Structure 1
Amino acid sequence: MVEGKHYFWVERTLGYADEGAVAAGVDVDGWELYVCRSRHEGDLVPGRLAPRDGCAYVPWGGGEHVKLEYEVLVVLGGEGRWVATRGGCVPIEALEAGAAGSEPLFVGRACFDGLLVPGKVHPSHGVCYISYGGAEIACPEYEVLVIHI
């Protein structure tokens, strides 16, 4: 378990999400999606946990990568709030949730195909990347997670 001041990441597998996991969107069938992160190609990448599918997905290198082992975000004593932004901007209070090399990655979510889908904000790329339909999709307008206690 990795802890922050008001949140923690819990190691899980096979689609399991803890009580208090941060909900961040819904899938095409209306099932809840949660904030997660997982390792891929040496990076720690925020993505989406889809309990119905029994796995997590992370966007990386143009693709959607299935993860059976991941960490789920749980917030203590409060809730996360989502701040609308665009073009690589992140609020100063944004939750740093991973890294690509030495660059921090943040929890984000974006609307795509009528759905709200969690993913990663990669500031130097100017977008929030989500994984959807087997691909990594760049979304220039998105929301960033800020832990609000």
Structure 2
Amino acid sequence: MQSDDVKRDSDVEYSGHRRWFHSSYTGSALQGGYEADGKPLYVVAAYIMATFTPGKYGHHLSGACIPYGGEERVCEDFYVLTTHNSPWIYSWEHASNGNVPHNAVRADEGKDSYGEGLYIGRVHHEGSLIPCKVHRSHKCAFFGYHWKEYKAKEYEVLVCTLKSGQAGEGEEGEGQKEVKE
């Protein structure tokens, strides 16, 4: 999120409709899932190899857990997605094989080493619902579990719509279409 369209206000970064708090603050964080024992998991992202990469965080974890390069990496420097004062309604939609809905939420406006944006997703795995990244060109979602990175062809994608009566800058993903291969 280190681009000209991002506004920085103390420990909050804004990119489009997304508000990322730079810390482990979870007061208005978007809960994206849970552990098998019921502990909440929040949608987070951290910079890995200059790419703003989505993952998970819970108070029981030592930092943000980000799937990358075959591993689940723990990052102490991370951002938590928040819904505080947001004019957007967030929900989850089923997708598969690298497809994302037209209003899917990207982690930021940047691109990864493959030249594409990463989307925020979540995966059901062994009784847990795990926030993760969706990588369209790899045709899957990647998630971290027990220190390894796994991939899933079936996943849910975070989507957003503008609350009625709210003025906004346009829906996330405006001009994009669902990609089906």
Give TM-score scaled by structure 1 length: 0.91
Task: Tell me the secondary structure at the aligned position of residue 26 of structure 2.
Answer: coil
Q: Secondary structure at the match of 1:100?
A: coil
- How far residue 50 of structure 1 moved from its aligned partner, in angstroms, is 1.7
Q: Does 1:2 align with 2:13?
A: yes
> Residue 124 of structure 1 aligns to a residue in which SS?
helix
Give the equivalent residue in structure 1 for 2:92.
82
For the residues of structure 2 that align with 1:127 and 1:31, how far apart are their CA atoms? 25
Instruction: Name the structure 1 match of 2:147.
Output: 134
Structure 1 spans left out of the alignment, 5+ residues: none
**Structure showing the higher strand proportion among its residues:** 1
The SS at the match of 2:78 is strand
1:61-108 Cα distance to aligned partner (Å, 9 max, x none): 111000111001012145310010100001111111044222100000
Q: Does 1:100 find its partner at 2:112?
A: yes
d(CA) in 2 for partners of 1:133, 1:17? 23
Question: Which has the larger Rg?
Answer: 2
Whole-angstrom CA distance in 2 between matches of 1:21 and 1:78 = 14
How far off is 1:115 after superposition?
1.2
Contact 2:36 2:126 in 1 (8 A): no
Q: Which amino acid aligns with 2:13?
A: V
Identity %: 31
Match of 1:122 in 2: 135
Distance 1:27 1:124, change over 3 A: same
Superposed structure 1 runs of 4+ greater than 2 Å apart: 4-7
The size of the alignment, in residue pairs, is: 146
- Give the distance between the partners of 2:129 and 2:143, measured in 1 at CA: 10
1:1-149 alignment runs, 5 A limit: 1-12=12-23, 16-75=24-83, 76-98=86-108, 99-101=111-113, 102-149=115-162
Decide whether aligned partners of structure 1 residues 119 and 68 sit closer, same or farther in structure 2, where only a CA change above 3 A counts.
Answer: same
| Structure 2 Cα separation of the partners of residues 123 and 78 of structure 1 | 24
Q: Calculate the aligned-residue CA RMSD, in Å.
A: 1.4
User: Which amino acid counterpart does residue 89 of structure 1 have in structure 2?
Assistant: N
Output the CA distance in 1 between the equivalents of 2:92 and 2:25: 20
- Please give the TM-score of this superposition, normalised by the length of structure 2: 0.76
Offset at 1:117? 0.5
CA apart distance, 1:125? 0.4
